Amino acid sequence: MPPRWYFVSLVFRFEPAALRAGRTSRKSHLVEENWELHRATSRAGACAKARKVAKVVCATPSVNLKTGEKGRWTLVGIKDCWLIYDDLADGAEIAWFQHGRMTGTQLRRLMGPKSKKLARNHRR
């Protein structure tokens, strides 16, 4: 099968390098959802490419522009992966959405039941 285009939605959470004074843990995290395009011969291949790009993002130090906190983005998981038929550039991020602060429960609700299925399929 020839390569085709896939729209992949990845969810990231911001992990500050240091906790604010007086806090031992966080109940909520800044969350972003990135949408990327990847060319692959299968849905699993597109998700693998997206995870490879996400590793670079997660390895790069970042700053929360609202608070000035230094930290890193960590990949929560792949939310969706859809086949696209248009001829577009490989790996182009087409949009992102900042979800604001979320608790672990809200984050799991955002990811939905599909995220568990995607995670199981990509452990090979």
Task: Considering only residues 124 and 112, tell me which one the structure prediction assigns the higher pLDDT.
Answer: 112
Instruction: Output the average pLDDT for the chain.
Output: 83
Alpha carbon of 46 to those of 32, 41, 80, 97: distances in Å? 20, 8, 11, 21
Which pair of structure tokens corresponds to residue 47? 């998700």
Q: Is residue 96 part of a domain?
A: yes
Give the model confidence (pLDDT) of 20-76 as tens digits.
555 556 678 889 999 898 999 999 999 999 999 999 989 999 998 878 889 999 999
Q: Is residue 52 part of a domain?
A: yes
Give which of 35, 31, 44 is closest to 75, Cα–Cα: 31
With beta carbons less than 8 A apart as the criterion, state whether 111 and 76 touch. yes
Q: Is residue 124 part of a domain?
A: no
- Domain limits for position 101: 4-16+27-114
**β-strand 70-84 against 4-16: which pairing, if any?**
antiparallel
Which pair of structure tokens corresponds to residue 118? 């995607």
Total domains present in the chain = 1
106 burial level (CB within 10 Å; 0-12, 13-18, 19+): middle
